[in-house]
């Protein structure tokens, strides 16, 4: 199944912008940038090494 068909099957609308055009996902990129800077980048290197998927999910949920 193609990507476009899979996206449509989920009820979403795929992006049709040209490569290199970030305007369609700029808001999500900004959100993820803030999330990283406010959570994971404040961790010590050792905390990042020991981070599990479950702990990351807990941090994000909080």
Task: Work out the number of other CB atoms within 10 angstroms of the CB of residue 7.
Answer: 13
CA-to-CA distance for 60 and 13, rounded, in angstroms? 26
Say how many Å lie between the first and final Cα of the chain, rounded: 36
What average pLDDT does range 40-61 have in this prediction? 89
Whether the full predicted model's pTM is greater than 0.85, yes or no, is no
Q: Is residue 14 scored above 80 in pLDDT?
A: no
Q: Per residue in 18-45, pLDDT tens?
A: 666 666 677 888 888 898 888 888 899 9
The pLDDT value recorded for residue 52 is 93
Higher pLDDT, 13 or 15: 13
CA 43 to chain centre: 18
Where are the chain's structural domains? 3-15+22-61
Contact 13, 7 (CB under 8 A): yes
């Amino acid at each position: 199944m193609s990507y476009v068909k899979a996206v449509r099957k989920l009820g979403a609308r795929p992006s049709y912008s040209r490569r290199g055009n970030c305007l369609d996902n700029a808001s999500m990129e900004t959100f993820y940038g803030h999330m990283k800077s406010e959570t994971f980048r404040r961790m010590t290197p050792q905390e990042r090494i020991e981070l599990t998927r479950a702990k990351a999910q807990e941090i994000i949920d909080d």
